């Protein structure tokens, strides 16, 4: 056998062996370079053809050509196989197994205070009130001055205020929206304004941020009884039953006369002297209110000789706690969702 033929067989054998080990396209490419690259084993053989004695050249040439063809065909075939396998693997990885049990998901829900806010807003909208808004960063002018609380007025101490360096403040109540709404819409007017308010207060029953809803009605010949009827209508609708209520004389610079509204204790209706909600008094304070002071109507650029009205400010956090049986104010703000997912009345 001529020397050259042995080499051809050796290259063929070593190619076939290597091919068996190729698992990836990269490995396959390395094999391709090793045999058919510029300095590949097959390439070198082809180059050395010329050095063969003439009579061997033809046969060896044919044999080498057919080896090259079969190497190329094998490389092509194995490449296709590896690509198919890789695609299949990828597909398997990405396939969704619809029989796997789900991880479960937690349902989102409104915060009890937001729920309360929406419920009361709905009731008030049913009575013809529109929702108004005002900024949380407020000017002294709207938060105090226009509400009949000049800078020397002792009532400014009632509301410990967060001030910004530029003299603006975090509104201490939603009442500045009374003024903003009168200036914007004029009379007659019926608005509510739910929103966050801020005071320097922080203990078991006070949070530095809490939620109020302001109400304002301005019209001709508004009587005290309209205010009383509106309040009981709202409270009965909200608690889903008829509750006893009472007015207590109080003081706000922006209403005259001023009142605080108490409702019958939703927990014990006054029958439990150890009641943890009303502490045995039988009554719960829920809102401040009164007939709008003429100075405030005037600050809203409405003629107090022609129009009068009433306003109220209701504590939404308090209302949420009463309706949903939440005992500690701080639970509303500390973000502990599991408490609300488990036991409280609103979760039923």
Residues near ligand PHE, by CB under 6 A = 173, 175, 252, 255, 288-290, 311-313
Two structure tokens written together for 308: 């009068």
The alpha carbon of residue 106 and the mean position of all alpha carbons in its chain are separated, in whole angstroms, by 14
C-alpha distances out from residue 54 to 7, 181, 220, 270, Å: 18, 110, 125, 124
Nearer to ligand PHE, 148 or 255 (CB): 255
Cβ distance to ligand PHE smaller for residue 129 or 312: 312
Task: Supply the minimum distance, in Å, between the C-beta of residue 204 and ligand PHE.
Answer: 19
Distance between CA 64 and CA 78 in Å, rounded? 21
Closest CB to ligand PHE among 28 and 193? 193
Residue among 4 and 255 whose Cβ is closer to ligand PHE: 255
Q: Which is nearer to ligand PHE, 1 or 249 (CB)?
A: 249
Comparing CB distances to ligand PHE, the nearer of 31 and 263 is 263
**What is the number of the residue whose Cβ is closest to ligand PHE?**
313
Report the number of secondary-structure helices (H) and strands (E) in the chain: 11, 9
User: What residues have CB less than 8 Å from 128, skipping those under 6 apart?
Assistant: 190
* C-beta separation of 217 from 226 below 8 A: yes
Q: Which is nearer to ligand PHE, 40 or 288 (CB)?
A: 288
Smallest distance from ligand PHE to CB 291, Å: 9
Strands ordered across the beta sheet of 245-252: 130-131, 189-198, 209-219, 308-315, 283-292, 255-264, 245-252
Q: Say if residue 4 is exposed, middle or buried (CB neighbours under 10 Å; 0-12, 13-18, 19+).
A: buried
Strand spans (E) along the chain: 130-131, 137-138, 169-170, 189-198, 209-219, 245-252, 255-264, 283-292, 308-315
Shortest approach of ligand PHE to residue 313 CB, angstroms? 3
Q: How far is the CB of 105 from ligand PHE (least distance, A)?
A: 40
CB of 102 to ligand PHE, least distance (A): 47
The distance of closest approach from Cβ of residue 177 to ligand PHE in the complex, given in angstroms and rounded to an integer, is 10
Q: Which of 142, 160, 144 is nearest to 152 (CA)?
A: 144
d(CA 186, CA 301): 8
Q: How far apart are CA 336 and CA 247, in angstroms?
A: 36
State in angstroms the smallest separation of the CB of 309 from ligand PHE. 10
For residue 296, the minimal CB distance to ligand PHE (Å) is 9
Q: Which is nearer to ligand PHE, 154 or 335 (CB)?
A: 154
Tokens of 252: 């706000």
| Coil vs helix vs strand at 326 | coil
CA dist 89 and 105 (Å) reads 30
At closest approach, how far in Å is the CB of 337 from ligand PHE? 29
Based on CB atoms, which residue is closest to ligand PHE, 28 or 311?
311
């Amino acid at each position: 056998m001529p020397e050259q033929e042995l080499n051809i067989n050796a290259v063929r054998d070593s190619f076939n062996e290597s091919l068996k080990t190729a698992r990836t396209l990269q490995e396959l490419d390395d094999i391709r370079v090793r045999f058919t690259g510029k300095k590949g084993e097959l390439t070198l053989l082809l180059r050395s053809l010329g050095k063969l004695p003439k009579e061997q050249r033809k046969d060896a040439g044919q044999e080498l050509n057919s080896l090259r063809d079969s190497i190329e065909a094998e490389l092509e075939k194995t490449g296709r196989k590896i690509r198919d396998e890789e695609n299949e693997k990828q597909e398997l990885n990405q396939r969704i197994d619809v029989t796997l049990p789900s991880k479960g998901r937690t349902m989102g829900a409104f915060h009890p205070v937001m729920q309360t806010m929406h419920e009361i807003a709905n009731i008030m909208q049913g009575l013809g009130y529109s929702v108004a808004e005002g900024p949380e960063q407020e000017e002294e002018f709207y938060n105090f001055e226009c509400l009949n609380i000049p800078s020397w007025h002792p009532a400014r101490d009632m509301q410990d205020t967060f001030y910004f360096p530029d003299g603006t403040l975090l509104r201490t109540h939603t009442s500045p929206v009374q003024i903003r709404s009168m200036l914007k819409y004029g009379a007659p007017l019926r608005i509510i304004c739910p929103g966050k308010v801020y005071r320097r207060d922080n203990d078991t029953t006070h949070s530095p941020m809490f939620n109020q809803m302001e109400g304002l009605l301005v019209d001709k010949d508004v009587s005290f009884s309209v205010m009383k009827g509106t309040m009981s209508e709202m409270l009965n609708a909200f608690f889903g039953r008829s509750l006893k209520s009472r007015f207590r004389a109080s003081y706000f610079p922006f209403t005259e006369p001023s009142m605080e509204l108490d409702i019958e204790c939703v927990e014990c209706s006054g029958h439990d002297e150890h009641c943890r909600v009303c502490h045995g008094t039988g009554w719960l304070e829920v809102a401040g209110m009164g007939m709008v002071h003429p100075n405030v109507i005037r600050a809203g650029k409405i003629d107090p000789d022609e129009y009068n009205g009433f306003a109220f400010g209701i504590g939404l956090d308090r209302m949420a706690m009463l309706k949903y049986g939440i005992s500690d104010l701080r639970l509303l703000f500390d973000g502990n969702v599991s408490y609300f997912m488990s036991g409280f009345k609103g979760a039923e």
